[in-house]
Amino acid sequence: MKALKGIRIVEFAGLGPLEHTGMMLSDLGADVIRIVRPGTSYQTSPILRNRTTHSLDLKAPEDLRTARNFITQSDVVLEGMRPGTMERLGLGPNEFAEVAPKLVYARMTGWGQAGPMSQRAGHDINYLALTGALWSTRRTGDRPVPPLNLVGDIGGGSMFLIVGILAALINRDRTGYGSVIDASIVDGVSSLLQSVHSLRADQEWSDEPGDNLFDTGRPWYDVYRCADEKFIAVGAIEPQFYHELVAGLELDISSLPHRSDPQNWPALKKLFTEVFATRSRDDWAQRFEQSDACVTAVLSIAEAPAGHHLRSRNTLFPVPGGWSASPAPRFTPLVPE
Q: Which residues are catalytic?
A: 123, 153
Neighbours of 237 (CB within 10 A): 13
Residue 202 one-letter amino acid: D
Q: Provide the β-strand partners of residue 79.
A: 107
H/E segment holding residue 261: none
DSSP state, residue 254: G
- Report the chain's terminal Cα–Cα distance, integer Å: 19
**Cis peptide before 144, with omega less than 30 degrees from 0?**
no
Q: Are 10 and 31 in contact (CB under 8 A)?
A: no
Sequence-distant (6+) residues with CB within 8 A of 199 are 205, 212, 213
Q: Are 253 and 259 in contact (CB under 8 A)?
A: no
Q: Provide the β-strand partners of residue 33.
A: 10, 52
CA distance 223 to 304: 17
CA distance 127 to 1: 35
Q: Are 96 and 74 in contact (CB under 8 A)?
A: no
